[in-house]
């Protein structure tokens, strides 16, 4: 068995995206790397899994200490395939991304990138989701290449609290304008959905989802949205436990013997 660290890489933009290539470039010097990523883009899949049809896996590339697989499913499917089909030894780290587009604030709830990181922490593996606020196919990854390796090395060496993962977002700025890294909390925000109504080729009405984001606390300086607007890379710790612990006492009145 290899004594080298094992790093599992995935994303939600597909195994051939530029973001996952940059992320893989960063982690390959740190250990053995296995990439298990969706065959096609799976943005907005959150923690979805495929259970109503078969999954198909293709081995795309193999080198000493480096393998790439694609899965025609969701990002969470990819983690499950890696751990339960390939039966990898327990990875020392899971990294997901680099997503083309923001996963700050409540966008993290919809994100396949973060869904995969959350699945990783449910397997008790330190996990990080990386996202870039530029939605284009070819973002400027200069700041990622400068700052993300230090975040990765720290988690690889020190781990994370059990049941948690990190949501890292990079501002859409050139390296020289990025001010550094800040740990933040998730901003309270809301997406206002807007549907573009079209007529399809078959004559049926089509609804294409769009919308705008509203920051509900624009002046809160400890949030990811605020710090990103100030030119910082943000790191938000997330947890798999969805319990609102502060509300338990308030609703104990519902208990019945």
Give the pLDDT confidence of 81-104 residue by residue, as tens digits. Answer: 999 998 889 999 999 999 999 999
Which helix (H) or strand (E) is 108 found in, with range? Answer: helix 107-110
Closest CA to 100 of 176, 174, 14: 14
Q: How far apart are the C-alpha atoms of 169 and 190, rounded to whole Å?
A: 18
Closest CA to 57 of 35, 31, 42, 33: 35
Q: What is the mean pLDDT of the chain?
A: 96
User: Across-strand partners of 70?
Assistant: 37, 58
* DSSP helix/strand/coil, 122: helix
Range 102-107 average pLDDT: 96
Q: How far apart are the C-alpha atoms of 145 and 157, rounded to whole Å?
A: 19
- The domains found in the chain, sorted by start residue, are 6-187+218-254 (3.40.1210.10)
Confidence of residue 251 (pLDDT cuts 50, 70, 90): very high
Range 208-216 average pLDDT: 93
Give the pLDDT confidence of 18-77 residue by residue, as tens digits. Answer: 999 999 999 999 999 999 999 999 999 999 999 999 999 999 999 999 999 999 999 999
- Specify the pTM: 0.95
Predicted local confidence at residue 3, as pLDDT? 81
């Amino acid at each position: 068995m290899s004594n080298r660290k094992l790093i599992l890489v995935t994303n939600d933009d597909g195994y051939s995206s530029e973001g996952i290539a940059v992320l893989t470039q960063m982690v390959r010097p740190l250990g053995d790397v296995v990439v298990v990523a969706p065959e096609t883009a799976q943005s907005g899949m959150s923690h979805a899994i495929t259970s109503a049809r078969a999954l198909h896996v293709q081995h795309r590339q193999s080198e000493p200490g480096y393998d790439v697989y694609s899965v025609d499913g969701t990002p969470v499917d990819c983690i499950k395939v890696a751990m339960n089909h390939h039966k990898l030894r327990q990875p020392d780290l899971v990294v997901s991304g680099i997503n083309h587009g923001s996963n700050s604030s409540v966008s993290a709830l919809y994100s396949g990138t973060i869904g995969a990181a959350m699945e990783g922490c449910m397997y008790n593996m330190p996990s990080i989701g990386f996202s870039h606020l530029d939605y284009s196919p070819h973002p400027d990854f200069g700041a990622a290449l400068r700052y993300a390796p230090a975040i990765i090395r720290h988690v690889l060496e020190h781990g994370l609290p059990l049941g948690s993962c990190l949501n890292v977002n990079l501002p859409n700025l050139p390296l020289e304008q990025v001010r550094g890294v800040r740990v933040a909390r998730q901003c309270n925000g809301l997406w206002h959905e807007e549907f573009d109504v079209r007529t399809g080729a078959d004559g049926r009405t089509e609804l294409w989802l769009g919308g705008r984001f509203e920051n509900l606390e624009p002046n809160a300086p400890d949030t990811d949205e605020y710090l990103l607007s100030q030119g910082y890379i943000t790191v938000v710790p997330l947890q798999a436990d969805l319990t609102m612990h502060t509300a338990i006492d308030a609703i104990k009145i519902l208990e019945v013997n």
